[in-house]
């Protein structure tokens, strides 16, 4: 599966790489995906995405350092693509009506393909003039999230701002809170991210529902329901073939299912191959 990224990653020669390709998903990838929730570990995301990417522009294979250099929005695009590879294109969101007199459950259906449509590329930084001088502000990257993840909750936002807002070398000093806010607002105009914010009507009372799902959480929830199935598949292949768990998880999902189909045919006494095809 090919995924068009927004900012992509820039190499040392100044070339920007925006085209990513996901390879066949293995059991290792499925197992890792089931560990993610609303607040994923940035390093864990790096390992997962580096494992499923076979190419990112001129990078092949793709190292975790390259994935860590991707912006949040590009990482979100890759997580959505991986979610589609694991659970299909359709995403079903369910939420209760916010009207206290109603409480009806509403369902909204999204398409990953539509969310990832070929949006335009975008720069990963902009120059902004503020009352404190000129600053360059860039999109947060995976490495930024990893750096601030170890800090107390109350310190993370300010620490992140300080990482992504750089003063002009000509003499601007540290940015004030107002200057930071202005710079970040300017940057927001250039972000190329999948828009997951959804507004829908309650089917019962017509009240508006607002949904803003997180791609990592969507991925984790999709794979959580498959965790028992994956374990059962590993058990069957280990029992009948004597393979180690690591070797089975290294197989693609399609390859695992082909072996399981052969076992099913053999146990049922059917031909292993349909000769009529």
Range of the domain at 70: 2-119+194-223
Q: What is the pLDDT of residue 172?
A: 56
Residue 9 parent element (H or E): strand 2-10
Q: How far is CA 24 from the centre of its chain?
A: 16
Same domain assignment for residues 10 and 97: yes
Q: What is the pLDDT of residue 246?
A: 95
**pLDDT of the chain along its 277 residues, tens only?**
889 898 899 899 989 999 999 999 899 988 888 776 556 677 788 889 999 999 999 999 999 999 999 988 899 899 999 999 988 999 888 888 888 888 888 888 888 888 887 665 676 777 777 777 777 888 889 999 889 988 998 888 888 888 888 776 665 566 666 766 766 666 665 555 556 677 888 888 888 888 888 888 888 888 877 888 999 999 999 999 999 999 999 999 999 999 999 999 999 998 888 766 5
**Predicted structure pTM score:** 0.81
Q: What is the pLDDT of residue 135?
A: 79
Same domain assignment for residues 115 and 176: no
Q: How far is CA 94 from the centre of its chain?
A: 20
Q: What is the pLDDT of residue 164?
A: 84
Q: What is the pLDDT of residue 228?
A: 87
Centre a 10 Å sphere on the Cβ of residue 107 and count the other Cβ atoms it contains: 10
Residue 18 to residue 165: CA distance in whole angstroms? 23
Pairing relationship of beta strands 90-96 and 105-111 according to DSSP bridges: antiparallel
Same domain assignment for residues 7 and 88: yes
CA-closest candidate to residue 62, choices 134, 7, 8, 119:
8
Q: What is the pLDDT of residue 104?
A: 84
Same domain assignment for residues 208 and 234: no
Same domain assignment for residues 60 and 16: yes
Q: What is the pLDDT of residue 238?
A: 97
Q: What is the pLDDT of residue 149?
A: 87
Residue 192 to residue 194: CA distance in whole angstroms? 7
Same domain assignment for residues 145 and 76: no
Q: What is the pLDDT of residue 54?
A: 95
> Is residue 275 one of the residues assigned to a domain?
no
């Amino acid at each position: 599966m090919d995924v068009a990224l927004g900012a992509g990653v820039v190499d040392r020669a100044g070339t920007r790489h925006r085209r990513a390709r996901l390879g066949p998903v293995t059991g290792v990838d499925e197992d890792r995906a089931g560990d993610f929730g609303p607040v994923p570990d940035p390093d864990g995301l790096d390992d997962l995405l580096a494992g499923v990417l076979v190419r990112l522009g001129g990078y092949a294979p793709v190292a975790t350092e390259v994935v860590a250099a991707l912006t949040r929005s590009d990482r979100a695009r890759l997580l959505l693509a991986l979610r589609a590879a694991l659970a299909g294109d359709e995403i079903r969101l369910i939420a209760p009506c916010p009207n206290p007199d109603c409480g009806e459950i509403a369902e909204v259906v999204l398409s990953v393909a539509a969310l990832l449509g070929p949006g335009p590329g975008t720069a990963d930084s902009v120059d902004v003039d503020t009352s404190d001088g000129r600053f360059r502000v860039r999109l947060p990257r995976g490495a930024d999230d990893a750096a601030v993840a170890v800090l107390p909750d109350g310190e993370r936002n300010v620490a992140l701002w300080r990482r992504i807002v750089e003063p002009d070398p000509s003499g601007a000093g540290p940015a004030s809170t107002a200057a930071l806010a202005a710079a970040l607002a300017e940057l927001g105009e250039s972000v190329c991210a999948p828009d997951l914010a959804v507004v829908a009507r309650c089917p019962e009372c017509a009240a508006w529902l607002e949904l803003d799902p997180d791609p990592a959480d969507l991925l984790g929830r999709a794979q959580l329901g498959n965790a028992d199935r994956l374990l059962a598949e590993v058990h069957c292949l280990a029992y009948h073939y004597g393979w180690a768990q690591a070797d089975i998880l290294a197989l693609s999902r399609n390859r695992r299912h082909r072996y399981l189909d052969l076992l099913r045919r053999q146990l049922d006494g059917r031909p292993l191959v349909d000769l009529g095809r």
